[in-house]
Amino acid sequence: MQKTNFLLLFVLLFFSAPFIKGQMHYLDDYEGIPIVAVYINADAQDLTTLNFQRLRELGAIGISSRIHDDAEYNKIKNNGMRVIPINIWDSGPNQSSVTYYSDAIYTMWEAEGHLGDSLNKGAVELKYDSQLGEVFSEQNSADTIKGIVTKSSNAGELIYGPAYAQYIKYKVLPLESTTDIIKYNARFRLKIKQIGSLPPLDDYLDSPVCTIKVVASNPKVNPTTYLNIRSKILTVRDFIEGGDGGWNVWQDKVLANYSLEELADKSEEYLRGIDTTSHDPSFDSMWMQFVVDWAGSNFLKLYVDYVEVSDEKGRRLKTDSSARQDVYDLVALYSDPTYVLGWMGLNEPGTIDNFEPIRIVDSLIQAATNGNLRYYATFTSGWKGLVGYYQPGLIPSNGYVLTSLEFLRRTKLPYISYNLYNYLLPFRSAAGQ
């Protein structure tokens, strides 16, 4: 009878034990390894007094659990536990805003890369062909703009990279719709500048300047192959006509509302045992690149400032004060650092696109708690250790970058948690799966 009860309890209360790397408020002086029980398929309201007692006996200082109301929060406190809230019971942003917006997409890829500042800005970056372009710097009324400008009239791939993993579907919370397929925007910030004499009007207006592209790469075949996801040819007319057009005027050229749905969806389970040596001709979303293909010209130069990649949630978080207020208001409900360890959002983020939204969410958590609480980030010590995974020779300097280190560089969080699946790996169901 005791064995049956233990097995039932194990299935109901299955958790992993994260070990916090770094420090969180009162844990500065904590002696030993703080253990937090992360609940996958149970909430605090489902736990009994005996369950909490067993957790304390195991040495757990708290749990990560959804909090539906004050009664559930008080139950955790009254049973001698602290909590990392992870609120994901609602698909909308109001009661799940921390997780909802940490599942958003937003990355700014500077055309010139990070100019060697990988520790502060990240190691993964766009690349440029130094035979075709060079770094420029110009001052406007607001700040200094750096980017890449063409220096050759020869055609070629001016900007490319970064060859990184992107999600096809939302990992946790989709937009308020019936689909969980992510709709991306890629916004290219560009301008053209006249050099020398122009040809006759009819000859140059429809002259191609460049092609902007989103491509999937496959380095598992030799040579590396590419699949065009979305592209657009831009002519001189596209730059100089229209209300926002003109020579030497920065403009946004957008590849809007595209998805990666046509690519193979490599599930979390598949990634655990990914074969890095096989000749796999299929395309997936593991090595995505943004390309500016220069058409070549002897009467103009092309300037590239950045490529911004986003979804609707990411754009909302960056620009809509009401979205940020939703995060702030939710965190403020449970912000006592005596009982709250931090706030958890997206579990084990696997794409750089989530890192900037998480940085913003973390700043809102700090604002709502007078700097006492931070975002609680988890990573696996196993299969998702590298950005871009296996990319032999594709973008060599972007290869083999640790995801967790890239996360810390970009989010500026002082700590992360590694999930240890020592209870999961030996487990087999009755069917042997």
- Strands 343-344 and 133-139 turn out to be unpaired
Rounded mean pLDDT for each run of 10 residues along the chain, 433 residues in total:
31 38 59 77 87 92 88 93 82 77 96 88 92 94 90 97 91 77 97 91 90 91 90 97 90 97 71 57 88 96 98 96 94 91 88 96 96 88 55 61 86 82 48 44
Helix (H) or strand (E) holding 200: none
pTM of the model: 0.88
336, 231 Cβ separation under 8 angstroms: no
Domains contained in the chain, CATH given? 2-102+320-385+402-419 (3.20.20), 127-160+184-310 (2.60.120)
Token pair, residue 217, equals: 């790469």
In sequence order, which residues have a C-beta less than 8 Å from that of residue 102 and are 6 or more positions away? 345, 346, 349, 354, 357, 358, 361, 375
pLDDT of residue 11: 28
Q: What does the pLDDT read at residue 219? A: 80
CA distance 403 to 196: 47
Task: Give me the sign of the Cα torsion angle 66, 72, 77, 80.
Answer: negative
3-state SS, residue 234: strand
**Phi and psi torsions of 19, nearest 5°:** -110, 115
DSSP-assigned beta bridge partners for residue 160: 127
Tokens representing 256 are 């809007």
